[in-house]
């Protein structure tokens, strides 16, 4: 039933403005109020409406500038509105936006080839998000294992404090009860062990286990890096027990740790890897990569995605990957700025007892606090710096990989002032 009180013109028709007209006439407060009125309450949104950006800088509807060290939550790895990605989107939008996957798609095949030639994988499936990529990985691992090793093979072990997405399968895989509440019954067959504990992982394997699903570095769980030998032990366990090893690289992939993919940092390869976030530098695209052997678990009719890998998003992703690969300075800058940022955070730790630990790798960094971090995030925002807090007490920093020392120094200076007030 439509009970809305909508304005009408003199002829009785709805009086509508275009979105562009509305934005031109709205102030920041008006947009915030309209957001509360029309959108479902699924986010604790900041009272800021961002309308444009370039590189590491973004601007709100009232013209105020911010340094963005959240980058859309590790999405804009090349910064906002990178010229090569922007031009690729513009050109493709003028040519072809979408066709069904019943047809050959040039951009999709080109992107798949780029991913395969620069990773362990042989085959790629495209979708629209990280959660969808993880759903595909879960389905692929189960179906391949059942066909290869018997119908009882369905169990998947994940880590406590993990995060794998918001769909029903992905939140079941997520090892945090707060994400499960209200959505029971969850998908059967999942179990959880402490992250970084190879002995606990081995003890959890049963005859029904088919796969192990892990993040190389836990992002939402508090920017947690496992012990150096952990993944070698995990890979060995999977080989011995004939299990599928799935790496969720939705947040760590596309250069975030200083390598194109985080698995390269640990000296092993998974059987399946999931990507999203930074793959298209801002356009919604996800991917599930697998070896030739495991990829045989999918045949026509077993999995699909209407919009997955359409020409527009693939054009953006091609431009993103080519920029990272062709310009070695992007990954080099990530490693160099990651080391510089880490050094500055350690210096900050010496000044502020509230800081307990520095975590992370590359430009995925976390500051463990002795107390809640939400208030500090808010004060940084007031000072023109965008960061976020995960796991309640970990400040997370995921700036564009193109960030500069000057921008890092500005953020460190802001944090210094905010933490003085928090003492």
Q: What is the CATH number of the domain that holds 266?
A: 3.40.640.10
Task: State whether 343 and 198 are in the same domain.
Answer: no
The shares of helix, strand and coil residues in the chain, as percent rounded to the nearest 5, are 40, 20, 40
d(CA 399, CA 328): 18
Question: Of 92, 139, 154, 145, whose CA–CA distance to 313 is shortest?
Answer: 92
The answer to whether residue 76 sits within a structural domain is yes
Query: What does the pLDDT read at residue 1?
Result: 45
Which residues are catalytically annotated?
163, 248, 277
Question: Of 61, 12, 59, 55, whose CA–CA distance to 35 is shortest?
Answer: 61
- Other beta carbons within 10 Å of 407: 21
Task: State whether 297 and 375 are in the same domain.
Answer: no
DSSP 302: S
The answer to whether residue 2 sits within a structural domain is no
- Other beta carbons within 10 Å of 316: 26
Task: State whether 92 and 158 are in the same domain.
Answer: yes
- Total structural domains in the chain? 2
* Angle, in degrees to the nearest 10, between helices 311-326 and 83-93: 150
Please, are residues 309 and 103 in contact by the beta-carbon 8 Å criterion? no
From 296, 326, 356, give the residue that closes a domain: 326
The answer to whether residue 3 sits within a structural domain is no
- Other beta carbons within 10 Å of 164: 31
Query: What does the pLDDT read at residue 328?
Result: 78
The answer to whether residue 113 sits within a structural domain is yes
Task: State whether 259 and 169 are in the same domain.
Answer: yes
Q: Assign residue 389 the CATH number of its domain.
A: 3.90.1150.10
pTM for this predicted structure: 0.94
Q: What is the domain range of residue 344?
A: 34-80+329-422
199 strand-pairing partners? none
The answer to whether residue 95 sits within a structural domain is yes
423 residues of the chain, pLDDT tens digit each: 455 555 555 566 655 566 555 556 788 889 999 999 999 999 999 999 999 999 999 999 999 999 999 999 999 999 999 999 999 999 999 999 999 999 999 999 999 999 999 999 999 999 999 999 999 999 999 999 999 999 999 999 999 999 999 999 999 999 999 999 999 999 999 999 999 999 999 999 999 999 999 999 999 999 999 999 999 999 999 999 999 999 999 999 999 999 999 999 999 999 999 999 999 999 999 999 999 999 999 999 999 999 999 999 999 999 999 999 986 789 999 999 999 999 999 999 999 999 999 999 999 999 999 999 999 999 999 999 999 999 999 999 999 999 999 999 999 999 999 999 776
Q: DSSP 3-state assignment of 238?
A: helix
d(CA 273, CA 370): 34
Size of the chain, expressed as the number of residues it contains: 423
The answer to whether residue 25 sits within a structural domain is no
Q: DSSP 3-state assignment of 327?
A: coil
Question: Of 100, 243, 77, whose CA–CA distance to 158 is shortest?
Answer: 243
Task: State whether 275 and 407 are in the same domain.
Answer: no
The answer to whether residue 9 sits within a structural domain is no
Task: State whether 346 and 410 are in the same domain.
Answer: yes
Task: State whether 286 and 147 are in the same domain.
Answer: yes
d(CA 289, CA 270): 10
Task: State whether 132 and 251 are in the same domain.
Answer: yes
Which residue is associated with the tokens 């047809």?
103
DSSP string, 77-128: TT-BT-HHHHHHHHHHHTT-S---TTS--HHHHHHHHHHHHTSS-SEEEEES
From 310, 326, 342, give the residue that closes a domain: 326
Task: State whether 304 and 187 are in the same domain.
Answer: yes
From 278, 308, 326, give the residue that closes a domain: 326
4 burial (CB, 10 Å; 0-12 / 13-18 / 19+) is exposed
Task: State whether 116 and 164 are in the same domain.
Answer: yes
Pairing type for strands 65-68 and 123-127 reads: unpaired
Task: State whether 59 and 180 are in the same domain.
Answer: no
Q: Which residues have C-beta within 8 Å of that of residue 109, sequence separation ≥ 6?
A: none
The answer to whether residue 17 sits within a structural domain is no
Task: State whether 76 and 124 are in the same domain.
Answer: no
């Amino acid at each position: 039933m439509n009970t809305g009180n909508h304005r009408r013109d003199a002829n009785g028709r709805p009086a509508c403005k275009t979105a562009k007209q509305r934005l031109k006439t709205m102030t920041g407060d008006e947009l915030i109020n309209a957001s509360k009125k029309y959108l479902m309450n699924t986010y604790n949104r900041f009272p800021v409406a961002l309308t444009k950006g370039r590189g590491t800088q973004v601007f709100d509807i009232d013209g105020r500038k911010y340094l963005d060290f959240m980058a859309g939550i590790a999405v804009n790895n090349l910064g906002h509105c990178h010229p090569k990605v922007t031009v690729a989107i513009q050109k493709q939008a003028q040519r072809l936006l979408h066709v069904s996957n019943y047809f050959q798609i040039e951009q999709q095949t080109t992107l798949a080839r780029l991913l395969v030639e620069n990773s362990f994988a042989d085959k790629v499936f495209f979708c629209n998000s990280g959660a969808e990529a993880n759903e595909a990985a879960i389905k692929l691992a189960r179906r391949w294992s059942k066909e290869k090793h018997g119908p009882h093979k369905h169990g998947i072990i994940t880590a406590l404090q993990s995060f794998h997405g918001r769909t029903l399968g992905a939140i079941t895989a997520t090892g945090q009860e707060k994400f499960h509440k209200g959505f029971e019954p969850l998908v059967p067959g999942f179990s959880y062990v402490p992250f970084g504990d190879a002995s606990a992982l081995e003890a959890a394997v049963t005859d029904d286990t088919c796969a192990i699903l892990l993040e190389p570095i836990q992002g939402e769980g508090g920017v947690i890096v496992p012990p150096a030998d952990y993944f070698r032990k995990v890979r060995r366990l999977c080989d011995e027990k004939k299990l599928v090893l799935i790496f969720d690289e939705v947040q760590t992939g596309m250069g975030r740790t200083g390598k194109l993919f985080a698995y390269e940092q640990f000296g092993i390869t998974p059987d399946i890897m999931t990507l999203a976030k930074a793959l298209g530098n801002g356009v919604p695209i996800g991917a599930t990569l697998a070896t030739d052997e495991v990829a045989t678990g999918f045949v026509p009719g077993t999995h699909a995605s209407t919009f997955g890998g359409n020409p527009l998003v693939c054009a953006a992703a091609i431009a993103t990957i080519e920029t990272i690969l062709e310009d070695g300075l992007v990954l080099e800058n990530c490693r160099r700025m990651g080391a510089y940022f880490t050094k500055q955070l350690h210096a900050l730790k010496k000044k502020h007892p509230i800081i307990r630990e520095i975590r992370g790798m590359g430009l995925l960094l976390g500051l463990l606090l002795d107390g809640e971090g939400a208030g500090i995030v808010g004060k940084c925002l007031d000072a023109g710096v965008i960061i976020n807090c995960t796991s309640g007490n970990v400040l997370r920093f995921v700036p564009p990989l193109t960030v500069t020392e000057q921008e890092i120094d500005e953020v460190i200076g802001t944090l210094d002032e905010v933490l003085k007030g928090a003492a």
